Amino acid sequence: MPNLRLITLGTGGMIPSLDRSLPSTAMKRGGEVILFDCGEGTQVQVMKAGIGFGGIEKIFISHLHGDHITGLPGFLMTLSQTNRQKSLYIFGPPGIKGFWKALGRTLGFKTGYEVVIQEIEGDFQTEGNGYQIRATPVDHTIFCLAYALIEDDRPGKFDKGKAENLEVPEGPLFGRLQRGEEIALPGGLVVKPSDVLGPLRRGRKVVYAVDTRPCEEVVGLAQGADVLVHEGVFGEELKKEANLRGHSTVAQAAEVARRAGVGRLILTHISPRYKDVRGLLAEARAVFPRTNIARDLMEWEIPVHK
């Protein structure tokens, strides 16, 4: 199984500060990198994280507020300098194609590689190699999407003893059963993978949800996720303000994490007004103890389910 790493590249919201860049999170799965949002300065954060531009295949944009998308032009121009040949896939809300076309027209800029843009208007799913990405609209002031990376389940553990009892000869037939294929033995007996494999092993699941008020859509999307990256722009003292602007407090995000039964909550999109986040962390952990507040360039390794 490939390693799965989550890297919070930019963890601020609305305006950048010296401590926090604008939103972007990378999920690195084996050699493939998937970016979620591309706030201003994302390309520099990618360099600082040592990710390498070559592995970046897909970019998913949550919504068309400037703090989440204005990094895209510079990012794509830099990719053009890397001799990139393969296509880049960008997914985002309706309007993102127009944004790209307007940029091309205004800046007279063409990439040396193909840019394929897909607009997402509602619940959506796209397949990757060994995983899928799902999107669902959330509750912000404009149309906004949360995304989930969901790995395929893996076949259960191979029980050699069971295979031997059924007189399956050791060799290529073992491999076929492990890959989930049914086989026929020379004597005519058919052996199914379920005869020799343990229960399915769940794939990993990571969810990215910014910007949004606390909402049922994220609770649903994040059900049982290993990690939920959720915005938490303010503390409880500014709850009204947060919700009015289409955002969540850290405690509200923690409540979403608790209800979704996730393994870990990572709070991001933190307002620049908080230099010291200990108070925010205490508020969130009172609701959901397995919470961290992201910093720029923090990394988490997500272990496979055995």
Q: Please give the residue ranges that form the binding site for Zn ion (CB under 5 A).
A: 13, 65, 67, 211
Of 304, 226, 212, 235, the C-alpha closest to 260 is: 226
Cα–Cα distances in angstroms (integers) from residue 189 to residues 18, 70, 141, 186, 192, in the given order: 68, 62, 61, 7, 10
Toward Zn ion, which CB reaches closer, 65 or 230? 65
Q: What is the crossing angle of helices 96-107 and 72-80, to 10°? A: 60
Choice between 15 and 116, CB closer to Zn ion: 15
**Least separation in angstroms between CB 200 and Zn ion:** 37
Those residues whose C-beta lies under 8 Å from the C-beta of residue 11, and which sit 6 or more positions away, are 20, 21, 23, 268, 269, 270, 294, 295, 296, 298
Closest contact distance (angstroms) between CB of 62 and Zn ion is 8
Q: What is the C-alpha to C-alpha distance for residues 48 and 166, in angstroms, rounded to an integer? A: 55
In the block, residue with structure tokens 């993102």? 96
Active site residues: 67
Give every CB contact of residue 150 below 8 A, 6+ residues apart in sequence: 131, 132, 133, 134, 203, 205
CB nearer to Zn ion: give 40 or 283. 40
Q: Which residue has its beta carbon closest to Zn ion?
A: 65
Q: Residue 149 has what DSSP assignment?
A: E
Compute the least distance from the CB of residue 150 to Zn ion, in Å: 24
26: nearest Cα among 217, 229, 247? 229
In the complex, least distance from residue 239 CB atom to Zn ion, rounded to whole angstroms:
17
| CA angle (57 as vertex; 152, 257 as ends), nearest 5 | 50
- Nearest distance from C-beta of residue 42 to Zn ion, angstroms: 13
Give me the DSSP letters along 32-58: EEEEE---TTHHHHHHHTT--GGGEEE
Q: Which is nearer to Zn ion, 36 or 131 (CB)?
A: 36
For residue 259, what are the contacts with CB-CB under 8 A and spacing of at least 6? Answer: 219
Q: Which of 59/163 has CB closer to Zn ion?
A: 59
Give me the least distance between CB of 250 and Zn ion, in Å please.
15
- CB nearer to Zn ion: pick between 65 and 264: 65
